[in-house]
């Protein structure tokens, strides 16, 4: 019994956790980040 339930639980948990990953059903696309010149408040700096 335990040998069966364990994988089932793992599968259910994995399925829910992978819910977000199931977005892969829809093809993703690459974006080219635009650059702007305006001197406004930025989130932060990687410099």
Partner 1 sequence: MGLKGRAVGWLDGPPSVHPARPDWRTWAPVAWVVVLALLINAPLLAPGFVLSYDLVFTPRQDLLPAALGLDGGFPRAVPQDAVVSVLTTLVPGMLLEKAILVSIPVLAGLGMLRLLTDVPALSARLVAATLAAWNPFVAERLVIGHWGLLLAYAMAPWALASAVDLRRGRVAAGPRMVLQIAVGSLTPSGSLLLLGLALPVAVGPGSRASAGIRALVGCGCAALALPWVLPALLSALLSDAAPTYAASAASGAGVFGLRSEGPWGPLLTALGLGGLWNADAVPDSRSWVVAPLLGVVLLLLAVIGTPSLIRSLGRAVTLWLWATAACGLLAAVLSATAEPLWASFLEMSPALGLLRDSQKLLAPLALLTSVGAGLGVAAALARVRDRSARSALLALALVVPLAALPDLAWGVGGRLTAVEYPPEWPEVRDFLAADPRPGDVVVLPWSAFRRFAWNGDRTVLDPAPRWLPRPTVVDDGLAVATPDGIVVVSGEDPRAAEVARAIAAGDDLATLLPALGIGWVLVEEGQASAIPVSATALAGMQPALRSGGLRLLATPMPAQERGLPPGTPWVVAADVLVVASLVAWAVAAALWREPRRRRGSFGTVTPS
Gap between the Cα atoms of 47 and 9, Å rounded: 46
Least distance to partner 1 from the beta carbon of 34, Å? 5
> How many beta carbons lie within 10 A of that of residue 11, not counting itself?
10
- C-alpha to C-alpha distances, 32 to 29, 35, nearest whole angstrom: 10, 9
Shortest distance (Å) from residue 4 CB to partner 1 = 8
Min separation Cβ 19 and partner 1, Å: 4
Instruction: Identify residues 1-47 at the interface with partner 1 (CB under 8 A).
Output: 1-2, 4-6, 8-10, 12-13, 16-17, 19-24, 26-47
């Amino acid at each position: 019994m335990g040998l069966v339930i364990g994988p089932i639980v793992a599968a259910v948990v994995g399925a829910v956790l992978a819910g977000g990953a199931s977005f892969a059903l829809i093809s993703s696309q690459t974006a080219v980040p635009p650059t702007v010149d305006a001197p406004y408040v930025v989130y932060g700096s990687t410099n």
